[in-house]
Amino acid sequence: MKPHPAKTNAEPFINRPEDGIAIRARGVEKTYTGAGGTSPKHALRAVDLDIPCGSVFGLLGPNGAGKSTFINIMAGTVIKSAGSISVWGTDLDADPRQARANIGIVPQELNIDAYFTPRQTLELQAGLFGVPKAERRSDALLETVGLSEQAHTYARRLSGGMRRRLLVAKAMVHSPPILVLDEPTAGVDVALRQRLWETIGSLRDAGVTVVLTTHYLEEAEALCDRIAILNHGRLIANQPKATLMAGARAKELRMTLAGGAPAKVPDALTALGAQPIEGGLTVRYDPGVTHAAEIIAAVAASGLTIGDVTTVEPDLEDVFLEMTGGSG
């Protein structure tokens, strides 16, 4: 197991895979045998996935979609049923130890010893990975995650957000080129979430490939370059974020009416999907089927006077719900 050397913020990782792919999965499957005569559970079904080097990659999906299973296979805690995975050019089956050394995992659980300081925690973790003392970066990592002032404070005195940032630093002690964050901002407040976003941005700028699973769709929209969506164990999307969102069909037309929202929406507008909102109406529509001008004309024909019109483009939540059928 060979740790990667320490780097400056602008220096890319050495030994970058020639194909530019940080993680490559082909035909990955995981089936759990049914207990007591129950049917087997297919957690992953023939997943093919490429994660580019240096990207912030979002892995999304409803509960039970297979996200954690995929991460646990990469971490070596779950054995896949079929398929292959390479991590930074190392085949997981051929050299599992080096493949796992190429990746740092930040789990959901705050698994930190309460009676160790952040610096002690990082030093211990570095020792477990065989990082020579001269090459350890404990102080630099604490600075990266904003914990320099708490370096010698017992972990039990740290806030939940600080502990979560310490987990990020802990996962980076051996300088892995890939960092996987499993729901990194779950349960933290808005301010701490923003600080974690900044930490992720700093790691990306340092050349780290970041794989992010999250239930906060605005988080994926803000951070990710590319997004994959799992549903019922199958990969149903894997595209650059901009391409994925450009393919969303539904738009929203919000109209402010001179008389405010009508007490009863005319039948002709109800047929178009019009809903009352404060001060007017809103209509979600597919521009490939209906033009905004047709909706506006229908509103005017119903005797309503439009004061203002706003078109709302779809966001990632709209895309996600459209592709997963609204499952959460």
* The three-state (H, E, C) secondary structure of 127-167, written as one string: HHCCCCHHHCCHHHHHHHCCCHHHCCCCHHHCCHHHHHHHH
Whether the CB-CB separation of 53 and 177 falls below 8 Å is answered with yes
Report pLDDT for 56: 95
* Mean of pLDDT values over 251-278: 92
- Closest to 9 in 3D by CA, of 144, 209, 138: 144
Name the phi and psi angles at 42, rounded to 5. Answer: -95, 100
* DSSP 3-state of 41: strand
CA–centroid distance for 12 within its chain: 22
Measured CA to CA, the distance from residue 279 to residue 274 in angstroms comes to 13
CB neighbourhood size of 278 (10 A): 7
Measured CA to CA, the distance from residue 250 to residue 274 in angstroms comes to 14
Name the phi and psi angles at 203, rounded to 5. Answer: -65, -40
> Per-domain residue ranges for the chain?
21-245, 248-324
Whether the CB-CB separation of 158 and 134 falls below 8 Å is answered with no
Measured CA to CA, the distance from residue 54 to residue 218 in angstroms comes to 21
CB neighbourhood size of 232 (10 A): 16
| pLDDT tens column, 142-195 | 998 889 999 999 999 998 888 988 998 999 999 999 999 988 877 677 777 888
Report pLDDT for 323: 72
* Mean of pLDDT values over 28-50: 89
Mean pLDDT of all residues in the chain? Answer: 87
Percentage of the chain exceeding pLDDT 90 = 57
Q: Which two tokens stand for residue 242?
A: 């901009």
Q: Which residues pair with 14 in a beta bridge?
A: none
User: Which CATH code of 3.30.565.10, 3.40.50.300, 3.30.2350.10, 3.50.50.60 fits the domain covering 21-245?
Assistant: 3.40.50.300
CA end-to-end span of the chain: 39
* Cα 221-248-273 angle, rounded to 5 deg: 115
CA–centroid distance for 31 within its chain: 24
Alpha-carbon distances, residue 8 vs 133, 266, 323 (angstroms): 18, 63, 40
Measured CA to CA, the distance from residue 98 to residue 116 in angstroms comes to 28
Q: Indicate the pLDDT class of residue 5, thresholds 50, 70 and 90.
A: very low
Q: Which fold has domain 248-324?
A: Alpha-Beta Plaits (3.30.70)
Report pLDDT for 36: 72
Q: Indicate the pLDDT class of residue 11, thresholds 50, 70 and 90.
A: very low
